[in-house]
Amino acid sequence: MWHPDRTSKLIVGLCSVVWLICAIRPWDFEAWLLEQFATVVALSVLAWCVHRDIVFPTHAKLSMAVLFVAHTIGTHFTYSDTPYDAFFSAVSGVSINDLFGWTRNHYDRFVHLLYGVTMAMPAAIVLQHRLNCSVFTARFLAVHLIISTSALYELVEWWAALIFGGDLGMMYLGTQGDVWDAQMDIALAGAGQLTVYALVYAAHLLRVMSLHLRYRSS
């Protein structure tokens, strides 16, 4: 039986508030309903993890919450029209699109990258718990899991576009005219995850080197 701690309750409460706010008058209600498919799948997987008594550390809970919030915001505005550039310009006076010379809305790319970054550690934790394997093996398999689920989601978007067709189907597909959109999204998820593992490994090496130097100087 899951007994949530204070941190878990706070995270769940904040995510629920964000979802409720973003559910009010979304820019395109039909597109919002379609995007809830990913929300339901994610919550179902999380419920399965809880049922299997998989315990996530605080940093993993926070990373999953960040992904949930980013996705929820994207469902409200639609991924192709989320006004991140207008928001950033209003806050900082700088246009991200002008700064990098972007001509498309890159919010969908950002969330796919964020998927790899935020799910890197939770995915490895689940695999290590279920397979009782080493940390290296869990992270190696987690890379395959993130990339394969990213590819599966691209297939789901394609199927939805074929089934619903018209503007709704194209809005859900979200390619914005880029023929390599699916490949780029998958690659970004994998790149985000590998970057996290590289940084964690680098931090581990620095810690080991620091301890070694401290031992030699003592």
Domain boundaries, the chain: 6-217
Q: 134 and 210 in contact (C-beta within 8 Å)? A: no
What burial class does residue 59 get, using C-beta atoms within 10 Å of its C-beta: 0-12 exposed, 13-18 middle, 19+ buried? exposed
- Of residues 217 and 39, the one with the higher pLDDT is 39
Give the confidence band of 60 by pLDDT, cuts at 50, 70, 90: very high
Above 70 in pLDDT, residue 18?
Answer: yes
Q: Cα–Cα distance between 161 and 170 in angstroms, integer? A: 6
Q: Which DSSP state fits 2?
A: -
Q: Cα–Cα distance between 89 and 84 in angstroms, integer? A: 8
User: Span 143-148, mean pLDDT?
Assistant: 97
Q: Cα–Cα distance between 2 and 111 in angstroms, integer? A: 29
User: Span 87-91, mean pLDDT?
Assistant: 92
Q: 109 and 185 in contact (C-beta within 8 Å)? A: yes
Q: H-type helices in the chain, by residue range?
A: 6-22, 29-51, 58-77, 84-92, 96-100, 107-131, 135-164, 166-173, 181-217
Share of the chain above pLDDT 90, in %: 67
Nearest residue to 8 via CA among 59, 45, 61 = 61
Please state the pTM of the whole predicted model.
0.90
Per-residue confidence (pLDDT) for residue 75, from 0 to 100: 94
Per-residue confidence (pLDDT) for residue 167, from 0 to 100: 76
Q: Which DSSP state fits 10?
A: H
